[in-house]
Amino acid sequence: MTEKNTITPGMTAAVVGFGLAGRAMVRYLSGRGARVLVSDARQESALAESERAVLSSCVAELECGRHSADFLSRADLLVLSPGVNPAHPAIAAVQRTGVEVIGELAIAAPLLRRPVIAITGTNGKTTVTELIGALLAATGRSVFVGGNLGTPIGSLLLDETDYDVVVLEVSSFQLELSGAFVPQVGVLLNITPDHLDRHGSLARYAAAKMRLLQGGPKRTEAVINGEDPQLITALPPQWHGSAVRFGTHPDAAASVDGERLWIADAGGGTVYDLSGAALNTVSGRLNSAAALLAVKRFEIDPTLAQQVLVSFQVGAHRMQVVDDIDGIRFINDSKATNTGAVSSGLSQAGGRVVLIAGGKDKGDDYRLLRETVRERVTNLVLIGEAAPQLAAALGDLVPVHYAASMDDAVSRAAELASPGDTVLLSPACASFDMFDNYQQRGDCFVAAVRRRRQADQRQAVAS
């Protein structure tokens, strides 16, 4: 990877936030010869041994338990981890003195010499990113797949592999401070309310997403959901005639028709069949259409692409069917951290649903769930800090029950469900009030369901 950026030996760079992305960035900056400061909101006693090892080898000074202007003002440059709000008073104060504040995408922008496909949207980002990676990898290309989905951008900068293509999932948090980052292909899947506790309004959240297209039509090929009203409203005027669209309309460049996808091409079009595939859901078909358009320039053989679509498996915590116990289906949709994702999950679940929801509030308007809840949910089991807000928004529609833990929630939901029903964990909230992340929340749900299965088996043996 060719290196040419603003990081120079001897400069002082402060990394704010020492999570996965922050640690990778610390290692990169240190390797470039920068004097690295780290500011993390956690207490030092909470740091793991692996984190302490990075600090010991790469960091000159450490601040824990807060972000202070006094500490950060010692740096020539602030590099914010995605989870750190640029509006934090200490960061804003330092920025007013003229210190540049950027994110990991801004650091990476001048280093990316290979084609970059970047994917954003409220829901579906991870699936589409992984599917694009799988389609490209099937051709024998060397592909980096990362960003917001787990492998941080800093790891790409540390990696000496000469990748053919870079595929990045990017969040609104990352795009806020993306600097001169301009992908060759930018995929915008959808926009529904999310992270309003940070962005302040849906309009500002949408504007952050639109930074994906800041390079303009001459530098970025835009692939967009042509039927998403919030996305179309936020789309800058210069893109209305140039963006490539997917959806259910027959005139779309990628059109969904039942279980089949039609991709327009010079020869008229190519049809893909998703029957029997894990992607054969309402959202899965749209995600597949977006992915196929994103890789169109790479001229992947249709037969090979069809094989990838049929064999692709959606990752854990996204409408993951865990078990069927006594005719009750248990589904883990822990990644559904906003109302749009919950509505989609309820629609895909079909039939009668006992919904487990709640967690740490992100400023979403839970009243947006009223229509879907009224149609599909028989009982609502609530967990976490946002339980009162969810009850206030939905409690007049269905019976509400409260649970103190995931085990309690699964037990209550199973008792409320009847054969043929689905118990769905689809929280509409972040996980950080009770869990480390949405993965741990989903794992706890899966473990609780499995314990219930084991209890049923023991009871059957005893009888």
Residues contributing to the annotated binding site: 121-127
Nearest to 231 by CA among 188, 186, 196: 188
Q: Determine contact, residues 270/258, Cβ cutoff 8 Å.
A: no
CA distance 215 to 222: 10
Q: What is the 3-state secondary structure (H, E, C) of the chain?
A: CCCCCCCCCCCEEEEECCCHHHHHHHHHHHHCCCEEEEEECCCHHHCCHHHHHHHHHHCCEEEECCCCHHHHCCCCEEEECCCCCCCCHHHHHHHHCCCEEEEHHHHHHHHCCCCEEEEECCCCHHHHHHHHHHHHHCCCCCEEEEECCCCCHHHHHHCCCCCCEEEEECCHHHHHCCCCCCCCEEEECCCCCCCHHHHCCHHHHHHHHHHHHCCCCCCCEEEEECCCHHHHHHCCHHHCCCCEEEECCCCCCEEEECCEEEECCCCCCEEEECCCCCCCCHHHHHHHHHHHHHCHHHCCCHHHHHHHHHHCCCCCCCCEEEEEECCEEEEECCCCCCHHHHHHHHHHHCCCEEEEECCECCCCCHHHHHHHHHHHEEEEEECCCCHHHHHHHHCCCCCEEECCCHHHHHHHHHHHCCCCCEEEECCCCECCCCCCCHHHHHHHHHHHHHHHHHHHHHHHHHC
CA distance 195 to 362: 5
CA distance 91 to 129: 31
For residue 68, which amino acid is it? S
Which residues belong to the annotated binding site for ATP? Answer: 121-127
